[in-house]
Structure 1
Amino acid sequence: MSVLHSNIPKQSMSKLLKVQQGFTLVELMISLVLGLLISAAVMQIYIANVRSATLQEAGSSVIDANVFGIPIIEDHIRLANLGLAGKVDDTSEGSGIVLTQTGNLKGIKLTGNKEVPIALLTNTGDVTAVGSGNQWSAKTATNTPSGQLTLQFRAPQDMYDCEGNLALGPREVTINNVKKVIDGQIVIERYYLQAQDSAKPNNLSLFCDAGKYITEDMDKYEEQGRSGKSSTVFVEKNVIKDFGDKGEVIIQEMDYFDILLGTKDGSVVRYYTVKQYTDSITKPEIISIKIGGIIRSNNVVQTSALTNEFQVLGKTIKLKTDATDVEKKYLRFVFQNEIALRNARLNL
């Protein structure tokens, strides 16, 4: 070994030792800086992709509500008053927009001979006589109380209400020992905001609670329903069945919902809240319903470019003052639609 070592030139040994010493401090610092720059660039791309993905997911959930949820309400509003009152207002019996119990639901009771409370009828956010439990109580995730729309119509054919229960159209029954065809069962529906989880009072959804009743006398009430479909079976007239429970979710994640009553008096078109309409001395017939609200996404969005102030039905709506930072990071969309009442009898 010593012989071999002695045969290596001193200059070569010096070069070999330098190679074995590794990177210099300058080289390490340059490598570290380059690594940090590359990592920062990768992180920026990752964050941008995450923001884009969450924004797309949020937008998709809002679009779903508009494509699948809102058209359900619009289609049933178009049916309002079908086969019922001569005009739509707060006094006509059977009016397709249900504003009063003594007028629009005169003689109609809930199961157990109970009066239909105002908290199950059409109300706007300016009405103060709210209910409790599954009744309308103006639930909102904003600084403005929400409303409720209650409508009714005769089933034009066998169909399903907004809860997915069968309602029967015209059918044959026995009246005074004579077979006669009677009109469809009357479907009554209400659309309102409610929390799916009471522990999350600001996490609201649009629910629909549907019931049915009949108004005809007949010899055998069992004839008018289908024994295998309990939702269609009645044992007496003028009693609303299955109405006043929580109902089913129509649109997930809605912060605010309200309506306006559209009227036309001569050439004058005007929109009323329920309180304005019921307090008015002259009450034009109702020819349309404006619905409006704020739908939010089902996931938070990682961006600061979000607004917490909205214009809905002519009002400035803001999120609740106690809204958390997380609740402020949802993507929100305002919808406003006016639906003409095809079955209003007003001669325009």
Structure 2
Amino acid sequence: MQPREKGFTLIELLIAITLGLILVAVAVQLVISGQINYKIQQAASSVQDTGVFSLNAVTKNIRLANHGNAGAMNDETLYGGIVLDENNLQGLNITAADYVSEENSQDAGFNTGFGSDQLVIMYQAPVDMVTCTGENIDGPVTSIDEEGFNSERGEYVIEKYYLKRRGAGKIETDLYCKSATFFHREIVPTPEGGTPDLISVTVNNEQMIAPNVDFMRVMLKVRNSDQSTATMSLDAYKDIVETKPAIIGVDLAWLAKSSEIVQNNKIYNFQVLDKDLEAPKDKYMRHVYSTTVALRNGGLGDIIE
């Protein structure tokens, strides 16, 4: 009698292969799922870095707007506040048109149908500090000598915040700042018929603050003569014919974009303050970051009649 051969039957072999394929499929799915989750986490992290960092970097200086001046601020405030008109820059040797807050004047990271805003502030350095472009500036200095007590005012700073495309043919935009500084000096009257000397201004190089900012919106918070408050766009404020109300704060918002593509991203509609935006379906993750900055140097409770 011949011994029986031992081994797998065809059915057992098919069952083993099927189980093996199932295990392989599960393992592959876990790897793919892990990679997707990793990309989502990377995208979320890059968006948060852009949004949170840019807000922190900008708001600490914007809070200084109008420092060195007394009383409420509007478009006629000299050497301080939110720069809304060339009146704020009188007597400065600077191209005023380049340093005025403007609505719908800057690039956006995609076709929004509405351009980004530009914010320009001015303040006197309260202490030795650094501007948004990394320039060291001097605060007030006091001294006593044989002639008595001397006081020197700190440097004045103009800072412009805006979006800029990365180069010719590029769509992506980043948040930039450009600064200018000057020392305030009393302008000595010139002889009759002469031209007053302008205060010398040093314009510094621009500096990128945060990458991948698609859109920037700026709105003003104002206090009316009846003590009521309101929020309005830059253009709405400039369009006021009568004396403009005191500016007491600024609303800022950015639409930040991730550096990585997220395949399952399906969020494309965003509310950026008063603007509804529809982003392109390009698989990038986006998020709106906003803040309200109270201008404590704008005259507490002051109104402009």
User: Is this contact kept in 2: 1:59–1:331, CA < 8 A?
Assistant: yes
- Secondary structure in 2 matching 1:52: helix
User: Is this contact kept in 2: 1:142–1:255, CA < 8 A?
Assistant: no
Equivalent in the alignment of 2:78: 93
Q: Alpha-carbon deviation of 1:180?
A: 3.3
User: Is this contact kept in 2: 1:85–1:95, CA < 8 A?
Assistant: no
Q: Alpha-carbon deviation of 1:170?
A: 1.3
Q: Alpha-carbon deviation of 1:212?
A: 0.5
For 2:152, which of 170, 179, 182 is the aligned residue?
Answer: 182
The aligned runs of 1:1-348 (5 Å cut-off) are 11-12=2-3, 15-16=4-5, 19=6, 25-84=10-69, 86-101=71-86, 103-110=87-94, 115-117=95-97, 119-125=98-104, 130=105, 137-143=106-112, 144-171=114-141, 180-201=150-171, 203-217=172-186, 238-243=199-204, 245=205, 247-265=206-224, 266-282=226-242, 283-304=244-265, 306-319=266-279, 323=280, 328-345=282-299, 347=301
User: Is this contact kept in 1: 2:214–2:256, CA < 8 A?
Assistant: yes
User: Is this contact kept in 2: 1:142–1:317, CA < 8 A?
Assistant: no
- Which consecutive unaligned segments of at least 5 residues does structure 1 have? 1-8, 131-136, 219-235
- Secondary structure in 2 matching 1:84: coil
Distance in 2 (CA, whole Å) between partners of 1:292 and 1:189 is 17
Distance in 1 (CA, whole Å) between partners of 2:56 and 2:270 is 22
Distance in 1 (CA, whole Å) between partners of 2:110 and 2:66 is 31
Q: Alpha-carbon deviation of 1:267?
A: 3.4
Equivalent in the alignment of 2:190: none
Higher RCO (CA < 8 A, seq sep 6+): 2
One-letter code aligned to 1:193: L
- Secondary structure in 1 matching 2:218: strand
One-letter code aligned to 2:245: P
Q: Give the count of matched residue pairs.
A: 288
Distance in 2 (CA, whole Å) between partners of 1:76 and 1:142 is 30
Q: Whose radius of gyration is greater, 1 or 2?
A: 1
Equivalent in the alignment of 1:221: none
Q: Alpha-carbon deviation of 1:189?
A: 0.5
Q: Alpha-carbon deviation of 1:193?
A: 0.7
Taking structure 1 as reference, are residues 269 and 297 closer, same or farther at Cα in structure 2, changes over 3 Å only?
same
Distance in 2 (CA, whole Å) between partners of 1:146 and 1:46 is 41
Q: Alpha-carbon deviation of 1:172?
A: 6.0
User: Is this contact kept in 1: 2:52–2:289, CA < 8 A?
Assistant: no
**TM value normalised by structure 2:** 0.85
One-letter code aligned to 1:107: G
One-letter code aligned to 2:80: S
One-letter code aligned to 2:290: Q
One-letter code aligned to 1:259: V
User: Is this contact kept in 1: 2:157–2:182, CA < 8 A?
Assistant: yes
Q: Alpha-carbon deviation of 1:25?
A: 4.4
User: Is this contact kept in 2: 1:153–1:188, CA < 8 A?
Assistant: yes
Question: Residues 180-214 of structure 1, C-alpha deviation per residue, up to 9 Å, x if partnerless?
Answer: 3221100110111112344432x211111111012
Taking structure 1 as reference, are residues 96 and 166 closer, same or farther at Cα in structure 2, changes over 3 Å only?
same
Which has the larger strand fraction?
2
Q: Alpha-carbon deviation of 1:314?
A: 2.1
User: Is this contact kept in 1: 2:93–2:198, CA < 8 A?
Assistant: no
- Secondary structure in 2 matching 1:147: strand
Q: Alpha-carbon deviation of 1:179?
A: 7.9
Root mean square deviation of aligned Cα: 2.6
Distance in 1 (CA, whole Å) between partners of 2:18 and 2:168 is 52
One-letter code aligned to 2:90: K
One-letter code aligned to 2:254: G
**TM value normalised by structure 1:** 0.75
User: Is this contact kept in 2: 1:217–1:237, CA < 8 A?
Assistant: no
Segments ≥4 residues shifted beyond 4 Å: 22-25
One-letter code aligned to 2:268: N
Which has the larger helix fraction?
1
Distance in 1 (CA, whole Å) between partners of 2:12 and 2:58 is 69
Question: What is the identity percentage for the equivalent residue pairs of Structure 1 and Structure 2?
Answer: 30
- Secondary structure in 2 matching 1:104: helix
